[in-house]
A and B are shown apart, each in its own frame.
Chain A
Amino acid sequence: MAENGEALTPSPSPLRGRGEHHGRVAGLPLSHGRDVGVADVRAAQRRGLGGEGHPGVRASGGEASPAGPWQMAWRQLRRSKLALFGLGILAVLLLLAAFADLVAPYSPTQQNVALARRGPSAAHLLGTDELGRDMLTRLIYGARVSLSVAIVAQIVILLIGVPVGAAAGYFGGWVDTLLSRAIDVLYSFPDLLLIIIVVTSLRAALRAESGGVLGALASLDAALAGMLGIFLSLALVSWLTVARLVRGQVLSLKEREFVESARASGATTGRIVVRHLVPNVLPAIVVAATLGIPRVILVEAALSFIGIGVQPPTPSWGAMILAGSTAARGGNPHLILGPAGALALTVLACNIVGDALLEAFDPWMRRAGQGRA
């Protein structure tokens, strides 16, 4: 958030004059007679973020060391054992997914039909599946699929949603109208079903193509066991939610004093959007992304469960749950409990961290969202 202070005060010490524009910088009364340097403004910015004093800071007497929303959120997060637990689980999962080749005891595709459907044992801690593949190994590789889909899709969603939302919120006009209408139509469509339609259409389109850009994309999709189709369709469907969030926040932020003063001091539109508005929306985006990741993981699992997600033999939790749900009827509950537990634990951890972040950013986000304290 330090960028705010810097951008707001391009000259080294602009507050000396206490002119019309500078009498109140970002809502912070500067009636005391001493000079205020850039550092002080930055500190004030961090504390107040362009508004009145931060509730949290005010509660601790107003003299506490200045903290931006990030430090405050981190402090809050550290206090919650549940949030740390969630973060810990996510860290372990990420490591397992990244080093799956080193950690996994077997190969994920190596079959041994003689050992099919065995319960947990010393050699196979979570038993074996219907083709005699080691369940633990497949779960670890499945984590790689789930997490990479979640992260890549989320990045694509942000790359589309943030610029479009910011533009619509800041400029209004036809950009805004177009976005709002698009949101209306797409929201009257059931989410998952739209994803299903897009993913099957995209697959069919890619399959029919052999040369050119689409052909290259098709072979990339095949190499990724169908994950490219999932990334793209998820992103195409989900970016609207992010765009709407960013639009709403920008809409209220752009009327605030610190934006006005940036405009008055001659900042270009691009600079205002990139350095003043987007950093202020960032916490909301972080929370939305954290809470969006479990959704993406669930959708991937759901698509694989239907059979149009990640293509076998690449292990995916959704496909394993599908296989396991029939195996459970035959008296092999370990085949469903393993992947179901892994999926539930991952999504649970993401949701816990997301909730904690939401709560940690809350007083600050509420202000950004409503444009008042």
Chain B
Amino acid sequence: MTRYLVRRVLILLPVWLAVYTLTFTLYHVTPGGPWDREKPVPPQAMAQLNQKYGLDRPLWQQYLDYLAGVFTRFDFGPSYSRQSRNVSEIITDLFPVSARIGMLAMFLAVGLGVPLGVVSASNHHSIADRASMLIAVFGVSVPSFVVGPILIWIFALSLAWLPPGGIDTWRHHLLPAITLSLFPMALLARATRASLLEVLSADYVRTARSKGLREALVIRRHALRNALIPVVTIGGILLAEVLVGSFYVETVFAIPGIGRYFVTSVTSRDYPVLMGITLLMTTVVALVNLFVDLTYAYLDPRIRYG
């Protein structure tokens, strides 16, 4: 087990390297640089900036410099646009904010989505089934940047129940988390329904039914556990996505999170920040995947990792 975990974490290295190389290449094949402003920076100042950040060196050297910094000093470089802070500081400031809202959203999504799917599948073709699936299609179809403003308009401006933006108290977390949870909730509901429907037609479910077990118990004890495996797969992808923050939700609710900062760093060509956040996302995806794989083993004891 320990060996398995070590191996899984070590596999991250080549993935990081690939993502780093891809991002580096994408950045350097595009014309323009971090000092492009509406009003051009004087050439002398530009040369100084380039020298300060090592941008005047040959590309291969820049490529290696960054790697050396990361591996020897755990230094992810400075931020070009916010020169008082470096990348590690920016990430440790912003990531917890996004992750907190993401966790809350995922709680909501799992807590509502999975039961919705179960109700839907166990009453196949009923009104309840159709209604929940309509809700689910709706959740997949309406993007967060549409839901967010509408929720603000209703709950913050018209009813004045919750604050329209910011992140100061727990009340500030509610609307963004609800907005962020809709899409994963809908997808989880659909996945649960599809998977449970398939499992419910299996032989061992027929056996359980024929021995007179109540339907609720058949679903809870026999069917659901097996049906949850594909749901966990999808849930993992969604969790990774939600943890690193949504640009839209963070923009709409004026939240200082990592999702919003990422887009800012792309448009302002703040290359070290862009790289740092990309690597963070890759890491989150990989760790969530590991967590998902471990959950499989819990759900299905036949799955073992050695």
Contacts and interface: CB of A to CB of B under 8 A. Distances in A.
Interface stretch (B38-46, B223-231, B240-248): B240-248
Contacts of A329: 152-153, 157, 164
B140 interface: yes
A321 interface: yes
Contacts of A174: none
A348 B266 contact: no
B285 interface: yes
Contacts, number: 111
Interface in B164-193: 164
Contact of A196 (B18, B152, B263, B285): B263
Nearest to B134: A82
A201 B248 contact: no
Interface in B215-234: none
B22 interface: yes
Contact of A340 (B19, B22, B140, B146): B146
Interface residues of B, number: 41
A196 B241 contact: no
A333 B241 CA distance: 30
B252 interface: yes
Interface stretch (A30-38, A119-127, A187-195): A187-195
A348 B274 CA distance: 34
Given A329-B152, A331-B157, A188 B141 contact: no
Interface string A173-210: 00000000000010011101100111011001101100
B47 interface: no
A340 B30 contact: no
B145 A302 contact: yes
B19 A185 contact: yes
Interface string A329-373: 101010011001001100110111001000000000000000000
A305 interface: yes
B149 A340 contact: yes
Given A205-B30, A329-B152, A302 B143 contact: yes
Nearest to B22: A185
A190 B238 CA distance: 11
B266 A196 contact: yes
A306 interface: yes
Nearest to B186: A351
A298 interface: yes
A337 B150 contact: yes
Contacts of A344: 138, 141-142, 146
A25 B22 CA distance: 49
Given A193-B266, A204-B30, 13 more contacts: A185-B15, A185-B18, A190-B281, A192-B247, A193-B262, A197-B266, A328-B157, A331-B157, A340-B142, A343-B143, A344-B146, A347-B141, A350-B141
7 contacts: A188-B285, A197-B23, A205-B29, A301-B145, A328-B149, A340-B142, A340-B146
